[in-house]
Structure 1
Amino acid sequence: MKRTLLALAALATAAGASAQSSNVTLFGVADVSVAHISTTDKSVSGLANGGNSSSRLGFRGVEDLGNGLKAGFWLEGGLNVDDGGSGFKFDRRSTVSVMGNFGEVRLGRDKTPSYQNLETFHAFGDTGMGAVNGHNLISGSATGTPEGSNPKRVSNGVSYLLPKLGGVYGQVTYGFGEQAGSTSLSSTIGLRVGYANGPLNVAAAYGVVKGGTAASTVDYKNFNLGASYDFGVVTPMVLIASERGNDKRVDLYSFGVKAPVGPGELRAAFSLYKDKKMDNNDSKRFAIGYGYQLSKRTELYAAVARLSNDDKAARKLGSSLSPTPGVGNSLTGYEIGLRHNF
């Protein structure tokens, strides 16, 4: 009997020690809206995914290795709340990492340094009617690139993230192209450096994506700079971005604000897309919206957006429901949705 009690006590102690040294968390977002979008030549109504935040399901965990070291993993995949989707994979993030006083070394698929700036310094981030749509400004299917001229995420990546250095933060990422016969085709490299202290946040990012062919590669270069300042009653933000490559150049200028109003937040943003190599291929978008906090985890939101295309432009709104308009046609859209974090 004593031996049994000792064994149970030992097991309980071991389990408790294990629970203290490691943990695994299930998390996610369910976000869907009722939306309507109209253009000069077509219109569509229905449910749109991710009007406020991209719907997702994920698992993450951290283990204490001792001596100031930790190991972690993060597996996260996108969801379609409107119809459940046709399959599930960890396409948003799939990484393992080692962390310590030196910072963090992270391996796997993750957001690019440049894309993190695009999300951070825009009032609507990159979801819904007001989404910044600041990635792949040149092409979402540029020849030889893994996912476009400046993708949201990079696969086969090795990243180093700075430790906490006052308000300074930063990241450098290299993504292997993994193309037979070529050491650089489809590879990516990105760098981000910023400073966040109190109400101020400012950061710059730079990246290069190798496209083209093994015999003749093309460098798609991107740069962006963003800043925001929280005055308490309002947080203005500005974002400037540019992509260049294959004799093309598209610039983005965005100005936005967030302001606490009642039990929620008012958001507004104006964005200008300038094609520097082609005339009459610019676009302008204005969006305004409000998120009402039903609780810490649940938000009811609404947004309206208008995107005006020049005669040769055919850009679309950020909503998952948005059609690609005919050349020169503009779009108007609105949505009312619900987001729940868990």
Structure 2
Amino acid sequence: MLKKFILLAGSACAASAGAQSSITVFGVMDAGVSHYATKSATYGAANSLGARTVTQSQTVLSPSGLSSSRLGFRGTEDLGGGLAASFWLEAPLSNDTGGGVTNFGRRSTLSLGGPFGEVRLGRDYTASFWNDAVFDPMTVNGVGTNLIAVVNSNIAASRALATGGLLNGGLSAGTDSYLRTSNSIGYFLPPDLGGFYGQLQYALPENTKGLGPTAAATTGQRGRYLGTRGGWANGAFDVALAYGESTVADTATYKEVIKTINLGASYNFGPAKLFGELSRVKDDMQRLPGALNLRVSDRYNAALVGVTVPVGVGLIRVSYANVKFDSGSNAPNSDASTSKIALSYVHNLSKRTALYASVARMRMRDAHNNPTVMGVTPLVLSLPSIFPQPSYITTGGFEPKSAVGYDFGIRHAF
């Protein structure tokens, strides 16, 4: 009898522990064939030798045509009284090459939640990135990726590389505080506020303050990120406004801060769901007091519209976006623009498995006026689209004029 009682008590304790905590293994495997092609043409003085065009193309097996391949672990422990502790570890996967888990650069957070909301610590998406993702019919993946996200990613990476190298993770894990940021402290509002939601986020720069033995300039606030996002979702309607500041350089003579503000919205009519986003990015560059004192703010104004239409077990996705560059220097020929139209079809074989096909086309105007960040790369349609620009563009008087790309493949979530 005593033996039976002990067995029953042990079973009850195990059941209780299971109810109080949980751990989930999850992930995505995406494999598709992707093709990119960029056409460039001569401009300016190079045309005196006769107008010429050059095309570069590449075909690859991609791990992110519909969703980014990943492997993750998440868990929650019920602490009682409405409190819960949670962790989330998520790593990128390169299943096209067999690359395994080398870091948890997609997300690595520990949090405490309750009636007050959630406090989250670690590496996470930035508050200012969310609108680029949530209000993109293509979910920022594949050749149809939100053009606003592509240009913003290029800006963050190019400026970081120009001012001392990347912080906050490598290219595959997101660039300097655009997509994700490390060392962050975040706060999220509780979910029971009548549809209102919001977050605040601050990333510590973690630099050593003061001068070294050689009196070298300090890095100051480089790596600092501050962002916020607030919105309201009610039934078919969702709208959100976000703002973020990322410091990519801060020395005794030079400071550079990338400031982003965007507004996104969606409305689900039933037969179709509409998406829209407006965005402005300012690259604020300032030389500090001295003979070279100068302040310039380059601006990137962008807009996106899109729609998704359910068709049986499938989903049609369409988007159009435009980004215009205006130089704060007011120098002649200091503007550029690029636009993208994308079309995609997703055929759901089950809740977890889908086939997909996407195609996109881009056009660029005066791209030589801002070659680094306006997508002047041989892989202009890919994300993050950060590759060294081909030498013939910089030395031969060429500028990209158009690009096309496609993806088709299969995605499985588990």
With normalisation by structure 1, the TM-score equals 0.94
Q: Deviations over 1:241-286 (max 9, x none)?
A: 1111223221221111111112111001111111011635211111
Question: Among 143, 155, 158, which residue is 1:138 paired with?
Answer: 155
Task: Read off the aligned partner of 1:25 and give its amino acid letter.
Answer: T
Aligned to 1:199: 236
Which aligned pairs between 1:6-45 and structure 2 lie closer than 5 A?
6-40=5-39, 41-45=55-59
Q: Are the aligned partners of 2:38 and 2:400 in contact in 1 as well (CA < 8 Å)? A: no
In 1: Cα distance, 2:116 partner to 2:386 partner: 44
Q: Confirm whether residue 124 of structure 1 aligns to residue 152 of structure 2.
A: no
Aligned to 1:5: 4
Task: Read off the aligned partner of 1:53 and give its amino acid letter.
Answer: S
Q: Are the aligned partners of 2:354 and 2:412 in contact in 1 as well (CA < 8 Å)? A: yes
Percent identity, aligned pairs only?
Answer: 39
SS of 2:157's partner is coil
In 2: Cα distance, 1:130 partner to 1:136 partner: 15
Which aligned pairs between 1:1-342 and structure 2 lie closer than 5 A?
2-40=1-39, 41-85=55-99, 87-133=101-147, 134=149, 135-136=152-153, 138-142=155-159, 143=163, 146=167, 151-164=178-191, 165-181=193-209, 184-215=221-252, 216-244=254-282, 245-246=284-285, 247=296, 248-277=298-327, 279-311=334-366, 312=368, 313=371, 315=375, 316-318=380-382, 326=393, 327-342=399-414
Task: Read off the aligned partner of 1:140 and give its amino acid letter.
Answer: A
Relative distance call for 1:329 and 1:85 in structure 2 (3 A) is farther
Q: Are the aligned partners of 2:154 and 2:384 in contact in 1 as well (CA < 8 Å)? A: no
Displacement of 1:222 in angstroms is 0.6
SS of 1:114's partner is coil
Displacement of 1:218 in angstroms is 2.1
Greater percentage in helix: 2
The worse-fitting range, judged by mean Cα deviation, of 179-188 and 246-255 is: 179-188
With normalisation by structure 2, the TM-score equals 0.78
Relative distance call for 1:281 and 1:239 in structure 2 (3 A) is same
Q: Deviations over 1:101-155 (max 9, x none)?
A: 1100000000001111100011112110100142335341422673556510010
In 1: Cα distance, 2:383 partner to 2:349 partner: 23
Displacement of 1:56 in angstroms is 0.6
Relative distance call for 1:82 and 1:149 in structure 2 (3 A) is closer
SS of 1:193's partner is strand
In 2: Cα distance, 1:320 partner to 1:155 partner: 18
Relative distance call for 1:183 and 1:62 in structure 2 (3 A) is farther
Q: Are the aligned partners of 1:93 and 1:110 in contact in 2 as well (CA < 8 Å)? A: yes
Aligned to 2:46: none
Please list every run of at least 4 consecutive aligned residues from structure 1 whose deviation after the TM superposition is greater than 6 angstroms. 320-323
Q: Are the aligned partners of 1:32 and 1:338 in contact in 2 as well (CA < 8 Å)? A: yes
5+ residue gaps, structure 2, are: 40-54, 169-174, 210-218, 286-295, 328-332, 394-398
Displacement of 1:87 in angstroms is 4.8
In 2: Cα distance, 1:234 partner to 1:284 partner: 23
In 1: Cα distance, 2:408 partner to 2:190 partner: 40
The worse-fitting range, judged by mean Cα deviation, of 78-87 and 115-124 is: 78-87
In 1: Cα distance, 2:111 partner to 2:177 partner: 24
Q: CA-atom RMSD, angstroms?
A: 2.0
SS of 1:220's partner is strand
In 2: Cα distance, 1:320 partner to 1:112 partner: 16
5+ residue gaps, structure 1, are: none
SS of 2:129's partner is helix
In 2: Cα distance, 1:321 partner to 1:275 partner: 18
Structure exhibiting the larger radius of gyration computed from Cα positions: 2
Q: Are the aligned partners of 1:137 and 1:150 in contact in 2 as well (CA < 8 Å)? A: no
The worse-fitting range, judged by mean Cα deviation, of 321-330 and 89-98 is: 321-330
